[in-house]
Structure 1
Amino acid sequence: MNTYYDLLQQIKQYGTFIYTGNREYDLALLMEEVRSLKSNGLFSAKEYSQAMAIILKEKNQLN
């Protein structure tokens, strides 16, 4: 998982689709979903770290 698109494809495997039409809101929802997947044991520590890095990179690009 290296890109935002890869992350979206990864969470689709768990039945989650995120699209609000607002990139900032999408990132906030995505962050919550990744935290939920980690706390439920569906994301490993490595996947969680990669996902959060991707989300933070995307947030920085918005600003």
Structure 2
Amino acid sequence: MKTIYDVQQLLKKYGTFIYTGDRIGDLELMNMEINELFQLKFIHKEDYIQAKLLLRKEITRLSNEKKGRISHE
């Protein structure tokens, strides 16, 4: 698993499609779904860890980008 798209495909396997129009919100919902799939033992620990890292990295990147845009306006 290397991209957010890969995380989406993993969720799709379990019937979870997330799109709200808010990218950060979508990523946070994906994070919650990944937690639940792991707790229910549907996904392996390695997939869980990789998905969590990818989601955290993207949320941080988008948050920093958003903060930068606000401070420059």
The aligned counterpart of 1:40 is 40
In proportion to residue count, which structure has more helix? 2
Deviation at 1:16, TM superposition (A): 0.2
Output the CA distance in 1 between the equivalents of 2:27 and 2:4: 10
Determine which structure has more spread, i.e. the larger CA radius of gyration.
Answer: 2
Amino acid at match of 2:44: S
Deviation at 1:28, TM superposition (A): 1.0
TM-score with structure 1 length normalisation? 0.95
Deviation at 1:10, TM superposition (A): 1.0
Does 1:16 pair with 2:16? Answer: yes
Structure 1 stretches of at least 4 aligned residues deviating more than 4 Å after TM superposition: none
Number of equivalences: 63
Deviation at 1:37, TM superposition (A): 0.2
TM-score with structure 2 length normalisation? 0.83
What is the alpha-carbon root mean square deviation over aligned residues? Answer: 0.6
CA distances 1:9-59 after superposition (whole Å, capped 9, x unpaired) = 111000000110001110110010000000000111101100000001101
Output the CA distance in 2 between the equivalents of 1:24 and 1:7: 14
Deviation at 1:61, TM superposition (A): 1.1
Give the unaligned 5+ runs of structure 2: 65-73
